Amino acid sequence: VAAASVSRAANKGRNAALSVRAAAGAEVAAASKSYGVFKLSYSIDNEPKQRTQSWKATINVVVSGAAGQISNHLLFMLASGSVFGNDQPIALRLLGSERSKEALEGVAMELEDSLYPLLREVVIGIDPLEVFAEADWALLIGAKPRGPGMERADLLDINGRIFVDQGQALNRVAKKTCKVLVVGNPCNTNALIAMLNAPNIPRKNFHALTRLDENRAKCQLALKSGKFYTSVTNVTIWGNHSTTQVPDFVNAKIGGKPATSVITDTAYLKEKFTPLVQTRGGALIKKWGRSSAASTAVSIADAIKSLVVPTPAGDWFSTAVCTDGNPYGIQEGLVFSMPCRSTGDGDYEVVPGLVIDDYLREALRKTEDELVKEKECVGHLIGNPDAACAITEDTMLAGEN
C-alpha cells in the first residue's frame, strides 16, 4: 500500500496550525493558509511498476457541493475508475462551505476507507481559489435551493453570485484546458455566468447538465415501445433544463428506425411523452419525498463519459453548451442544450442537420426565449447592469423549489 500523508486544518482561522498524521502515525505541526482542509495524498512512485506503468497522468477533478446527496453517489464512481477509465488516476478536490466542513471530512474518510487504487489524492476546502487550483475538470453541483416565497428571479440572482465567484476562481487558478460541467440549478444560466466570468477558459469548455433529461426520455421511449433502452438512440434534449425543455422524438431512433415509425401514436408523443419527461423530477419527489440524487449522479457520469469516450457512429448525446456559431439559428451567447458528438478527447462538436419541423421549431423558440429572459435577469452579473428582468412564467423543475 502506498505511503499516505494526511493533514487536517484546525477550525480556528485561515492561518491555523495543521495536524499532520504521517504514515507511521506520528503527529507533527505545520503552518498553512488553509482553513478546514483535509488532505490525503498517495505517491504513485511507491506503487509496483507493473500496476502503474500503463496509467495516465493524474487528473485533478473539482466537485462543489461535495457534501451533498448527489456528490455522495458521484464521488465513489469517480474514485473507482468507472467514469474516466481504469487507467486514469484521479485527485479529487472537494469544495464545501463553513456549514458542511465536518460532513466533508466524513466524505473524505469514507473515500479513504474504500481503498480505491486510482484515487491518489483527496483535498477538501471552502475556498474556491485553493480547491480549484490546476483543475482539469470542474463539476459544479453546489447551489442554493429555492426557499419558500422566493421568486425565480431571486434564485437566479442568489445562485448567480455563487457562479460569479466560482467562474472567477476557475479563471485565476484552473488549467486553461479545464472542462466545466454545471449541475446546480438553474444550470443553463449558472453555466453562462461562470463562462462569462472565466474568459481565460474557452467558452466551448462549459457545459450544463441535461443528460438526466435525455436518460429519462430514453427510458420512456423504451417503455412505450417495449424495447430495451439500449436500442433507443439519437435522443436530443433541446434548450433549457426547465419545463420548457424539448425532448426530441422527431429525430430519435428505436432499434435503428425512426421513433415515430415504432411509436405511431403522435398524440402520445406530443401530449404525454413530452410532459412526462419535463415533469419526471416532480413525480419522483412525490413518490420518494426527495429530489433525484442517484440518477443525477449517474447522468453526470454519463455526461463525462460522452466526452472522454468516442461517440458511437451515427449517434449523439445531449449537453447544454455555448450557442456561438451553432447551426440551428439559436441566438448566440446562450447556454442551450443541443445534440453533440465527441472523438473522446474531451472536446465535442454540435451535430448539424437534424430535422426541425414546425412542432420542434415552435418548442425551440419557447425555450430559447426563456433563456434570453434568464440572461437578462442576471445582466448585472455578466457586465450588462441595465438589462431588465421580465420572467413571467415559473418553469423551474421540481427539486429547485
pLDDT of residue 45: 74
pLDDT of residue 39: 57
Q: Cα(388)–Cα(372) distance, rounded to whole angstroms?
A: 11
pLDDT of residue 110: 93
- DSSP run (H or E) holding 367: helix 358-377
In terms of average pLDDT, the best of 45-49, 51-55, 142-146 is 142-146
Q: Are 183 and 310 in contact (CB under 8 A)?
A: no
pLDDT of residue 42: 60
pLDDT of residue 41: 61
pLDDT of residue 40: 55
Place of cell 453533440: 340
Q: Where in the chain is the domain with CATH 3.40.50.720?
A: 56-208
pLDDT of residue 119: 94
Q: What is the pLDDT of residues 360-369, one digit of tens each?
A: 999 999 999 9
Give the model's confidence band at 396: pLDDT under 50 very low, under 70 low, under 90 confident, else very high.
low
Please report, for residues 6, 94, 274, the alpha-carbon distance to residue 91 in angstroms, rounded to integers and kept in the order given: 14, 10, 39
| Mean pLDDT, all residues of the chain | 88
Cell of 360: 420542434
Mean pLDDT calculated for residue range 164-174: 99
For domain 56-208, the CATH class is: alpha beta
Query: Which of 50, 41, 52 shows the shortest CA–CA distance to 4?
Result: 41
Active site residues: 241
Q: What is the pTM of this model?
A: 0.88
Q: Cα(341)–Cα(167) distance, rounded to whole angstroms?
A: 25
pLDDT of residue 170: 99
Q: Where in the chain is the domain with CATH 3.90.110.10?
A: 210-381
pLDDT of residue 247: 99
pLDDT of residue 238: 99
Is the pLDDT reported for residue 226 higher than 80? Answer: yes
Place of cell 448585472: 380
**CATH of span 210-381:** 3.90.110.10
Mean pLDDT calculated for residue range 16-33: 27
Q: Which residue has the higher pLDDT, 400 or 2?
A: 400
Cell of 169: 476562481
pLDDT of residue 31: 32
Mean pLDDT calculated for residue range 51-79: 94
